[in-house]
Protein backbone atom coordinates (compact mmCIF):
# COMPACT_ATOMS: atom_id res chain seq x y z
CA UNK A 1 0.00 0.00 0.00
CA UNK A 2 1.22 3.45 -0.89
CA UNK A 3 -0.24 6.70 0.47
CA UNK A 4 0.51 9.89 -1.50
CA UNK A 5 -0.57 13.41 -2.27
CA UNK A 6 -2.14 13.33 -5.72
CA UNK A 7 -0.50 15.98 -7.85
CA UNK A 8 0.50 15.85 -11.49
CA UNK A 9 4.18 16.30 -10.59
CA UNK A 10 4.06 13.31 -8.23
CA UNK A 11 2.54 11.04 -10.88
CA UNK A 12 4.68 11.80 -13.97
CA UNK A 13 4.76 9.71 -17.12
CA UNK A 14 8.53 9.15 -16.75
CA UNK A 15 11.05 9.51 -13.93
CA UNK A 16 14.83 9.90 -13.91
CA UNK A 17 15.35 7.24 -11.24
CA UNK A 18 13.33 4.80 -9.17
CA UNK A 19 13.87 4.49 -5.43
CA UNK A 20 10.99 2.11 -4.72
CA UNK A 21 10.05 0.03 -7.74
CA UNK A 22 6.38 -0.66 -8.22
CA UNK A 23 5.29 -2.74 -11.21
CA UNK A 24 7.94 -1.13 -13.44
CA UNK A 25 6.72 -1.69 -17.03
CA UNK A 26 3.89 -4.01 -15.96
CA UNK A 27 3.28 -7.68 -16.66
CA UNK A 28 6.33 -9.68 -15.45
CA UNK A 29 8.85 -6.81 -15.46
CA UNK A 30 9.44 -7.09 -11.69
CA UNK A 31 10.52 -10.72 -12.05
CA UNK A 32 12.74 -9.87 -15.04
CA UNK A 33 14.39 -7.13 -12.93
CA UNK A 34 15.25 -9.70 -10.25
CA UNK A 35 12.48 -8.64 -7.83
CA UNK A 36 11.01 -11.92 -6.70
CA UNK A 37 8.14 -10.76 -4.48
CA UNK A 38 5.52 -8.17 -4.08
CA UNK A 39 4.66 -5.03 -5.84
CA UNK A 40 2.05 -2.51 -4.75
CA UNK A 41 -1.59 -3.51 -4.55
CA UNK A 42 -3.12 -0.09 -3.96
CA UNK A 43 -2.20 3.60 -4.00
CA UNK A 44 -4.45 5.75 -1.80
CA UNK A 45 -4.16 9.42 -2.68
CA UNK A 46 -5.80 12.66 -1.71
CA UNK A 47 -7.95 12.33 -4.84
CA UNK A 48 -8.78 8.65 -5.13
CA UNK A 49 -7.81 5.00 -4.90
CA UNK A 50 -5.61 3.56 -7.63
CA UNK A 51 -5.28 -0.18 -8.14
CA UNK A 52 -3.44 -2.47 -10.55
CA UNK A 53 -4.89 -4.92 -13.07
CA UNK A 54 -3.99 -8.47 -11.96
CA UNK A 55 -2.85 -9.61 -15.41
CA UNK A 56 -1.00 -6.53 -16.72
CA UNK A 57 -0.28 -4.61 -13.48
CA UNK A 58 -1.41 -1.42 -15.21
CA UNK A 59 -2.67 1.23 -12.82
CA UNK A 60 -6.31 2.32 -12.99
CA UNK A 61 -8.61 4.58 -10.99
CA UNK A 62 -10.76 2.35 -8.80
CA UNK A 63 -12.51 5.18 -6.96
CA UNK A 64 -12.50 8.97 -6.76
CA UNK A 65 -13.15 10.84 -3.54
CA UNK A 66 -16.45 12.70 -2.95
CA UNK A 67 -16.57 16.14 -4.54
CA UNK A 68 -14.30 15.09 -7.42
CA UNK A 69 -14.85 13.42 -10.77
CA UNK A 70 -12.79 10.75 -12.54
CA UNK A 71 -11.84 13.37 -15.17
CA UNK A 72 -10.57 15.73 -12.45
CA UNK A 73 -8.38 12.97 -10.98
CA UNK A 74 -7.02 12.06 -14.42
CA UNK A 75 -6.22 15.74 -15.04
CA UNK A 76 -3.89 15.68 -12.00
CA UNK A 77 -2.12 12.54 -13.24
CA UNK A 78 0.87 12.93 -15.56
CA UNK A 79 0.12 9.80 -17.59
CA UNK A 80 -2.99 8.36 -19.22
CA UNK A 81 -5.08 6.93 -16.38
CA UNK A 82 -7.86 4.45 -17.07
CA UNK A 83 -10.96 5.90 -15.37
CA UNK A 84 -13.54 3.74 -17.10
CA UNK A 85 -14.68 1.69 -14.10
CA UNK A 86 -14.15 4.29 -11.36
CA UNK A 87 -16.83 4.72 -8.71
CA UNK A 88 -17.14 7.29 -5.94
CA UNK A 89 -15.22 6.38 -2.79
CA UNK A 90 -17.67 5.59 0.03
CA UNK A 91 -17.78 8.18 2.79
CA UNK A 92 -15.91 6.82 5.84
CA UNK A 93 -17.82 5.77 8.93
CA UNK A 94 -17.14 7.76 12.16
CA UNK A 95 -14.76 5.11 13.58
CA UNK A 96 -12.85 4.97 10.27
CA UNK A 97 -12.51 8.76 10.34
CA UNK A 98 -11.20 8.64 13.90
CA UNK A 99 -8.53 6.11 12.90
CA UNK A 100 -7.59 8.09 9.80
CA UNK A 101 -7.34 11.39 11.69
CA UNK A 102 -5.72 10.29 14.94
CA UNK A 103 -3.81 7.09 14.12
CA UNK A 104 -2.85 7.15 10.44
CA UNK A 105 -2.48 10.89 9.80
CA UNK A 106 -2.37 12.80 13.12
CA UNK A 107 -0.24 15.57 11.57
CA UNK A 108 -2.87 16.05 8.84
CA UNK A 109 -0.46 15.66 5.95
CA UNK A 110 -3.06 13.91 3.80
CA UNK A 111 -6.30 14.73 5.58
CA UNK A 112 -7.10 18.38 5.81
pLDDT tens-digit profile of 37-61? 888 889 999 999 999 998 888 999 9
Prediction pTM value: 0.83
Note the pLDDT of residue 107.
93
Residue 103 has pLDDT above 90, yes or no: yes
**C-beta contacts of 102-110 below 8 A and 24+ residues apart:** 104/3, 109/5, 110/3, 110/5, 110/46
Cβ atoms 92, 104 nearer than 8 A = no
What is residue 40's predicted lDDT score, i.e. its pLDDT?
A: 86
Which domains are present in the chain? 2-104 (3.40.1080.10)
- The reported pLDDT for the residue numbered 60 is 97
Amino acid sequence: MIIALHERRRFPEQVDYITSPGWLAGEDSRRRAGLRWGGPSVVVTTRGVLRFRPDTHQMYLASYHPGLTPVAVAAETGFPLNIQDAVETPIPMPEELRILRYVIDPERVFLR
